[in-house]
Each structure stands twice: as C-alpha cells, then as structure tokens.
C-alpha cells in the first residue's frame, strides 16, 4: 500500500473552549486519495497508547461523533474544523461539504443542549404583533430600485456559536420581535439603522410555518441572544433545517409562540432573551410599513459576525458530554 505524504505547515487557530481549526499542506497527488481524517488529540510519545476510538466499538470502545466536520480544498491546502469531545477525538468525512465559508457543525443533540440552557433564562412570555427589520436608508432604496421591492434572503454570517450549522450555510432575512416591557412596542433604538420595516406577525409566522432553534450565545455581556428560524412548510429552508436543527412546537415553547385564542392568532416572545429570527423566504415591502425610528443607532450592540464568549457558563456546552 502506497503511503500518503507527510503533512507540512501544520497550523492550529480559531481556538475556543470546544472547537478549533487545524490546517496543513499536502502533496497535490494525495488530495484525491484522502477519504477520512482521524486526529488523535490524546497522542503520546508511547506508540502503544495511541489507539483511536472507533464508532463501531472494538478494542478502543465506542464514542459519539462530536459534530460534523467540513474540509475545504484550496490550492492544495487542507482545512478541517470541528468540535472536540472529551475523548479527544476529531473526525472528518471525505464526503463532507466543500465551501469557501465553513464552520464546525453541532449535531442535533448538541443544539438540544444549547436549547435547554436557553430555556433556563428565557423568562416569561410577552405579547407582540409585528416582526421588524432595521437597516440604513440605502438598503431599502436598493431593495426598491434593484430588487423589485422584495427583500431577498442572504447567506448567514459567522455570528454566534462556532458550532452553529446555519453559519455560512442558511439563506434568510433577519427580523426582530422583542418589545419594550413598559410599552409593548418595539424599541426605538437599533444597532442596524434608523429605518425600520414592520410586518404583521401572521405574514411570517402561522400554522403553515415551521419553527426551529438554531443558536444561543452572548458577546461578553449580560445580554443573551437566541437565534430561531422561521421556514414555510416544504420550502428549501424548511428542508435544510429539518435535517440539522431541533424543531419547536409553534404553540408551546419557551421562545416564540403562535396560538389560536378566541379565534385569533396571538403571538408571544420570551422576555429575557434577545431573539434573532431568520425568515428563509423573500419578503415584499408591500406587505408591511417602512418608517424612521426616533431613537439612537447603537452600533455597539450589533451582532454582525459577533464572536461568542467561550468562557460564559450560561451559553456554552461540552460537546463530549
């Protein structure tokens, strides 16, 4: 059997409490021959102790895969990103997705752990009636002049948990729904722009919509964010989420609900979490109202490409648990 060449220029970076990225260079002729990567993070100088743990058991015992790994092939350089379990094993599949923007994926069981943590701080449910999206004036001018008055889904950035399977993969439009406790209305301040598009909640969220939990994180502050996905049933976004994210009961969950009360749809959101709602389909501006807010633009609160605090015990999980 012909051996592979020895990896060169090995680098480890993007290190957090439960994930990292490792990259290395390989000979061009080896790229087509690689099918799987196995990295033993418990490796010792004594060769007899360097036993890999296999998924099917055997001498080394069984283990749980700590999350899907993805690789990218760029000019002969390999990159593998993934979460690390307590068993110290990282695995990458040769049939993993290839993309210029990759992130380590938590499996559904890991997202379920995040969901449980998020539920602990969600607080009581408050009524609301509209979803809203803040942007600069130029954004809405572009939508009207060049997009046929329709806001189109865009690729989600890398904000939030490193393990979120939506980062760099899911297309959607970000909306908010949080209200001020004393007024029951959306806040007049926003980090994203002074122009606000408001749309009746039932236009985006109704019994024909599926709801998914996607992430829970903070940015070195006391504020915690919960990312949810709204996808019309049977849509491409719905199919994407169904395979990767925990689905929530739209009428009974701790974050965002849609219930029929006295013949009408009633909407509620969690009081103590900031909800970021991704809607996976295009939205026509004619379905809502556009106006200018009276408050401030608080740039410091923007979550665009926000990095999760890896030391927060409230919103981090152990993927080897």
* pLDDT, position 23: 73
Which of 2-34 are b and which e, b meaning 16 or more Cβ less than 10 Å from the residue's Cβ? eeeeeeeeeeeeeebbbbbbbbbebeeeeeeee
Label the pairing between strands 274-279 and 225-232: parallel
pLDDT given at position 73? 30
Element (H, E) at 290: strand 289-292
In 3-state terms, what secondary structure has residue 246? coil
* Half-sphere exposure for 307 (CA within 13 Å, toward CB): 7
The per-residue pLDDT for 7 is 76
143 to 62, 194, 254, 308: CA distances (angstroms): 53, 16, 34, 31
> 297 by DSSP, 3-state: which?
strand
Q: Is the pTM of this model over 0.75?
A: no
Q: Please report, for the domain that includes residue 62, its CATH number.
A: 2.60.40.10
Give a yes or no: residue 17 inside a domain: yes
The predicted-structure confidence for 283-301, as pLDDT tens digits, reads as follows 999 999 999 998 655 555 5
121-136 confidence digits (pLDDT tens): 999 999 999 999 999 9
Q: Which domain holds residue 14?
A: 8-85
Q: How many domains does the chain have?
A: 2
Give the pLDDT mean for 223-235. 96
Question: For the segment 43-81, what is each residue's pLDDT rounded down to a tens digit?
Answer: 445 555 444 333 333 333 323 233 333 333 333 334 444
Q: Are residues 115 and 217 in the same domain?
A: yes
Q: Are residues 139 and 48 in the same domain?
A: no
> Is 166 within the bounds of a domain?
yes
Q: How confident is the model at residue 217 (pLDDT cuts 50, 70, 90)?
A: very high
């Amino acid at each position: 059997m012909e051996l592979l060449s020895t990896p060169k220029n090995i680098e480890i970076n993007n290190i957090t409490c439960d994930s990292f990225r490792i990259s290395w260079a390989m000979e061009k002729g080896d790229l087509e021959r690689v099918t799987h990567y196995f990295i033993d993070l418990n490796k010792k100088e004594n060769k007899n102790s360097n036993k890999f743990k296999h998924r099917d058991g055997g001498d080394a015992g069984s283990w749980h895969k700590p999350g899907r790994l993805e690789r990218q092939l760029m000019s002969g350089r390999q990159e593998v990103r993934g979460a690390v379990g307590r068993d110290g094993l990282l695995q990458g599949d040769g049939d993993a997705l290839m993309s210029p923007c990759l992130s380590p994926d938590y499996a559904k069981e890991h997202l379920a752990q995040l969901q449980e943590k998020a539920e602990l701080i969600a607080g009581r449910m408050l009524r609301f009636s509209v979803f809203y999206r803040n942007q600069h004036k130029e954004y809405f001018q572009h939508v009207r002049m060049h997009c046929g008055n329709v806001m189109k889904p865009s690729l989600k950035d890398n904000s939030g948990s490193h393990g979120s399977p939506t980062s760099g993969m899911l297309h959607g439009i970000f909306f908010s729904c949080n209200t001020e406790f004393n007024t029951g209305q959306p806040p007049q301040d926003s980090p994203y722009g002074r122009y606000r598009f408001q749309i009746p909640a039932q236009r985006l969220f109704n019994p024909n919509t599926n709801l998914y939990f996607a992430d829970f994180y903070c940015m070195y502050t006391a504020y915690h964010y919960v990312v949810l996905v709204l996808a019309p049933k049977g849509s491409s976004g719905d199919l994407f989420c169904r395979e990767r994210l925990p689905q929530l009961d739209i009428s009974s969950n701790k974050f965002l609900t849609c219930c029929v009360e006295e013949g009408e749809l009633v909407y509620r959101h969690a009081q103590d979490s900031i909800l970021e709602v991704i809607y996976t389909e295009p939205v026509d501006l004619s379905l809502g109202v556009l106006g200018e807010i009276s408050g401030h633009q608080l740039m410091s609160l923007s979550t665009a490409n926000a990095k999760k605090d890896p030391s927060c015990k409230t919103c981090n999980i152990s993927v080897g648990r």
